[in-house]
Amino acid sequence: MSRHARPARRRLGPLPHLRSVAGQAFLLQLLLILVLVTAAVVAVVADARAHGTADARRRSLAVAETFAHAPGMARAMSGDKPTSALESHAEAARKRSGVDSVVVFDTRGIRLTHPETPLIGKRIVGPAGLIRDELRGKTISQAFRASQGPSVVSAVPVTRADGTFLGGVSVGVKIQSVHSTVDRRLPMLIGSGAGALALATGGAALLNRRVRRQTHGLGPAQMTRMYEHHDAVLHSVREGVLVLTADKRLLLVNDEARELLRLAPDAEGRHVGALGLEPHLTALLTSERHVTDEVHSCGERLLSVNMRSTGNTRSTGRAGAPAGSVVTLRDTTALRVLSDRAVETGERLKLLSDAGVRISSTLELTDTAEKLVDVAVPRFADIVAVELLDPVLRGEEPEPPYEPLAPHRTAVGGAPAEAPLFRVGERVVYAPSTPQSRAVRTGAAVLLQADPTGTGEWPAGEARRLLDHGIHSLITVPLRFRGVTLGLATFWRARHHAPFGETDLAIAGELAVRTAVCVDNARRYTREHTMVTALQRTLLPGGLPDQDAVEAAARYLPAPGGTGGSWFDVIPLPGARVALVVGKVAGQGLHAAATMGRLRTAVQNFSALDVPPDELLCHMDELVTRLDLEHDADAHGTRVTGAGCLYAIHDSVSGHCTVARAGDPGLALAHPDGTVDIPAVPVSPPLGLGGERFEAVDLSPPAASRLVLYTNGLLEGHGRTTDTGLGLLRRTLTAEPDLDPDATCRSLFQTVLPPHPSDDVALLVARTRLLDPENVAEWDVPFDPAAVAPLRAACAQRLRAWGLEDAVCTAELIISELITNALRYGAPPLHIRLLRDRGLVCEVSDGSSTAPHMRRAATTDEGGRGLFLVAQFAQRWGTRYTPHGKVIWAETPLDGR
């Protein structure tokens, strides 16, 4: 404005403004504000009174319901003194809730409590209809004019748990007490109205000045041209624009926003909640949040929303902007589709990656199938079943034709308990028309979707039953590797998943390919494991030999991941003795099993020499060293060194037991009275290490003692030490002293064996026996050929006393030849012993270590036929050496043995 205009404005003064449009608008606005403020004060007072009455009704009903339903209320009203039980509580509730009265009455309407004590015991008063409803057990809340003025009374019945009516609780609130609160606030309301009028008047004046200032002196033509430019820009941009007022009404909307939100032509001026938008969009637009590129769905579109408040200078950068919000919208549907496809592709790649890692983490057929199920459910399908052909389960390669198709269900996942699926382990027979048969026949995946109209072809059997349980699509794909079908995998989806499509066929096919490779590896491993297990089964004892020195039982448990090299043996020895053996070859697999067989055979051969346990272990140590020298050039390092062996000889005549061990196999001795000892058998190095001698110990267990020989797999496992297992072994043997060997083996496997053994286990339990002294006869023999005849006669007499007349002739011949041989080639002292066991054993010992040799005598020779005759008439014969000489023995069978 120019300097010349300012004096003119001063001369016009304030009154000419009243004749202008702005002045008249100001006067009209002032009158309107006055009317509105007055009406607002009157409305607030009236509304406060109305709300006061409603609040009195709600408060009285809430107090009555709370007190009537309080725990113990029914019990107190049913008691002998309900007034004393309830009066204090009723008064406390009245004071805390601010009501005027809390009255408890019984079924006759007699007051049990009342703020005024003299009224207790009298009937309740009020309108007849109200009293009648209260005594009928109805819940009421009613305003009426009482003697003390208008009041609100609420009554709630009190009942027992079975519904029996006991009385009620009546709560009264005077309306006057509620209105008095409003009356006290009336001066404040009037003052507030006057203040609001003053503020509104000042605000109107300021607004009038602001309007004049914001026009910047522009004329009507300039304002029109500015509006047209603004309107052209607003409606031509490809971005939706919404301008909302402070009270969230639509002030301005451009064409793009109208199309994106599908707004009605008369949408301007409406509240956001009345525009028919989706709830999440309505909640966003009515909020005061600042939003940047937040994506929301609108029908089939995805909108990127930005929202700023125009009244906030920090968000708009403009001072004095009108209060409200500006919202911009961009259609990002196509971009989101691409993003979703990228995410979906990433998820599929992650699924295939996880499948490759997890499925290949095992070499067991069942575990391989279960890994596929774990990966695919629920990321790819709701239910997954994996079925393998019979030859695959046996480790063999199936050969076509595969029909009729009848695989074994190996793994199922995701199926609810009520789903009509074949269970794991069942044989599933598929008709030629089923998708499974078609997939195996064609070698390709088959996709099947249920027809929502119910008129489509859906196979019978399991698929039909699943259709009734919400399954709407399936993919079945054969597990093929190198052109051989190993089984098939079937994937089902239910209602909460989208049906399978053509893109899912590729995923299912890739899962099947990876699974087929792992199944074939597992099949080959199963075949090899079966071969090794069969080899080991043939190398282990098929049964324990018959003998009377001990009562024995044994158990073998293979290693969790394969076949190990543990073994046990019971070897009958001459002289009513028996050898007990437990051994362990380090490692697992074919090498361990084969080495175990070689060592077991060696132990049996060395036992035939009838040498002491420590000497036998020396022979075994030399053998293992020799075997390892043969394998020095083996690139795979298949060595025998490190094998362990515990060898014990029990003599049922003397009751002595001699034990020696190499490595870690253990021995426990359980006495008949329940005490358990762990004999201190010296621990020598494992076989093949050499450098130290083996030591033997002599034990004298009582008859019926249990010798428990075991490998360390019985005690050790994942998370368990040897000491812990040894403690369990002691407690188990102590708690059950009367178990026979077979029951002892079962008990030890149930209680001592770790839940997850780390190695295979060999267990041998032998209960000792002692030969009855009546079945033993001994004589010292003079070193004189003349003593042969009297001694032969004494032996014959003892045999007849035993009732063995049929064996006398043969025994006399054997005894004569053995004594004659000892007199001719041996040295004193001479001793003879007869043992009646399963057979008749004749033993002749002398002080010479000269080994006897059987030779074939010529026709003209006078001697040389003694041992030949012994070998002909005896079932078996042999020699064993003692610290003081040797023993030549011969065993002949007895009748019925």
d(CA 347, CA 353): 10
The per-residue pLDDT of the chain, averaged, comes to 80
Strand 839-846 versus strand 885-893 pairing type: antiparallel
For 94-151, the pLDDT digits (tens) are 888 778 888 888 888 888 888 888 888 888 877 888 888 778 878 888 877 766 667 8
What confidence score (pLDDT) does residue 679 get? 94
d(CA 397, CA 148): 101
347-355: average pLDDT: 75
Higher pLDDT, 758 or 553: 553
For 664-699, the pLDDT digits (tens) are 899 999 999 999 999 999 988 999 887 678 999 999
pTM for this prediction: 0.54
17-42: average pLDDT: 65
Does residue 893 sit in helix, strand or coil? strand
For 739-754, the pLDDT digits (tens) are 999 999 999 999 999 8
What confidence score (pLDDT) does residue 318 get? 47
**What pairs with residue 881 in β-bridges?**
886
> What are the backbone dihedrals phi and psi of residue 719, each rounded to the nearest 5 degrees, phi first?
85, 10
| Residue 311: band (very low, low, confident or very high) from pLDDT cuts 50, 70, 90 | low
Top-confidence range, 188-192, 224-228, 347-351, 752-756: 752-756
Higher pLDDT, 733 or 66: 733
755-768: average pLDDT: 90
Under DSSP, the state recorded for 500 is P
Strand 550-557 versus strand 564-573 pairing type: unpaired
Picking from 14-28, 118-132, 298-312, 602-616, which range would have the lowest pLDDT averaged per residue? 14-28
What confidence score (pLDDT) does residue 4 get? 39
d(CA 707, CA 667): 7
pLDDT at residue 806 is higher than 60 = yes
| Residue 155: band (very low, low, confident or very high) from pLDDT cuts 50, 70, 90 | confident
Cβ neighbour number for residue 346 with a 10 Å cutoff: 10
What confidence score (pLDDT) does residue 417 get? 61
What confidence score (pLDDT) does residue 429 get? 87
For 256-289, the pLDDT digits (tens) are 788 788 888 888 888 888 888 888 888 888 888 8
d(CA 809, CA 206): 147
Q: Is 399 exposed, middle or buried (0-12, 13-18, 19+ CB in 10 A)?
A: exposed
What confidence score (pLDDT) does residue 233 get? 65
d(CA 577, CA 562): 35
The count of C-alpha atoms lying within 13 angstroms of the C-alpha of 292, restricted to the half-sphere facing its C-beta, is: 1
The count of C-alpha atoms lying within 13 angstroms of the C-alpha of 784, restricted to the half-sphere facing its C-beta, is: 7
Under a CB-based contact definition with an 8 Å cutoff, are residues 158 and 3 in contact?
Answer: no
879: CB partners within 8 A, 6+ apart: 610, 851, 852, 886, 887, 888, 889
Cβ neighbour number for residue 437 with a 10 Å cutoff: 21
842-858: average pLDDT: 75
Q: Is 422 exposed, middle or buried (0-12, 13-18, 19+ CB in 10 A)?
A: middle
pLDDT at residue 632 is higher than 60 = no
pLDDT at residue 618 is higher than 90 = yes
What the block records as the tokens of 282 is 């309505």
Under a CB-based contact definition with an 8 Å cutoff, are residues 182 and 52 in contact?
Answer: yes
Task: Report how far apart the first and last C-alpha atoms of the chain are (Å, whole number).
Answer: 142
For 156-187, the pLDDT digits (tens) are 888 887 878 888 888 888 776 666 665 666 67
711-726: average pLDDT: 86
In 3D space, the residue among 93, 66, 57, 59 whose CA is nearest the CA of residue 158 turns out to be 66
Burial 725-752 (b: 16+ CB within 10 A, else e): bbebbbebbeeebebebeebbebbeeeb
d(CA 595, CA 567): 11
For helices 21-68 and 175-214, the axis angle rounded to 10 degrees is 150
What confidence score (pLDDT) does residue 48 get? 65
